[in-house]
Chains A and B, each alone.
Chain A
């Protein structure tokens, strides 16, 4: 499986993703600089990593969404190449309109850096086929702007089309207001595009994909993609 990680000034999870991809797929990803519009033609997966691209100036992801490389990402998305946006990558995908809705400042205005529980809401995606339906997993979040908002028609479409992939929940898998760390609409932590080939999520699967990091709940996401695309 051929993959690429887009690197922006201020990305800080690009190498974490690269280590995970190399480990899971056996091939190191192409590290693709944001200013280069020409992505390799043979990519199966493009990851937009976490971080603070362009210092989060104006809005998180707003500047990165207009980077030269994003034109290439958009073309690849149109061809059906799998796109994964993690944390700042999710914000970039929303600002690029590759995913609907927006990510606003956390409800309590604080930067949150801790592990959260998530319920896998659909396994009908190449990203989560390796999880069990309604499986509860633990992943870290580290963000200031992860409060997902969308208008009612968008929310209904996400629900009706089975495009909500992860919801914040408690350890027992209950989706409650107290388990919602950032105020996200309907406890949404990750969503799919209409094509089901673009996934954005605020939690960091790459940060818990190796037992040496204290957990492996994120690993199945990368394994699922690899098995679907290899």
Chain B
């Protein structure tokens, strides 16, 4: 089973890289970009075939390693 984990900064946490991206987009003439937030995507290839069990395990992975829950939030896509 393939899974995708989206890790993004929590709302309210300042994102210097996202700000630089928004600036660069403005410089390229892309008007109307109010804000940009950068995150990361982690693709997992799992042996599980029970989606519910897989989700619980990935949730555990996120809390232990994949995300720093002090500053980041995550979303699991199966």
Contacts and interface: CB of A to CB of B under 8 A. Distances in A.
Interface of B: 13-14, 16-17, 20, 64-66, 68, 70-71
B17 A101 contact: no
Interface string A47-65: 0000000000011001000
B17 A58 contact: no
Interface stretch (A7-15, A73-81, A105-113): A105-113
18 contacts: A58-B65, A58-B66, A62-B68, A100-B70, A102-B68, A102-B70, A104-B13, A104-B16, A104-B71, A105-B16, A106-B16, A107-B14, A107-B16, A109-B20, A147-B16, A149-B14, A151-B70, A183-B16
A66 interface: yes
Interface of A: 58-59, 62, 66, 94-95, 100-102, 104-109, 147, 149-151, 183
Contacts of A100: 70
A13 to B, nearest CB: 23
A105 B68 contact: no
A147 B66 CA distance: 20
The prevalent SS among residues of B at the interface is helix
A107 B13 CA distance: 12
A29 B12 CA distance: 42
Contacts of A62: 65, 68
Contact of A109 (B17, B64, B66, B68): B17
A62 B68 CA distance: 8
Contact of A149 (B13, B64, B65): B13
B65 A183 contact: no
Contacts of A104: 13-14, 16, 71
Nearest to A154: B70
B9 to A, nearest CB: 8
A95 B68 contact: yes
A212 B14 CA distance: 40
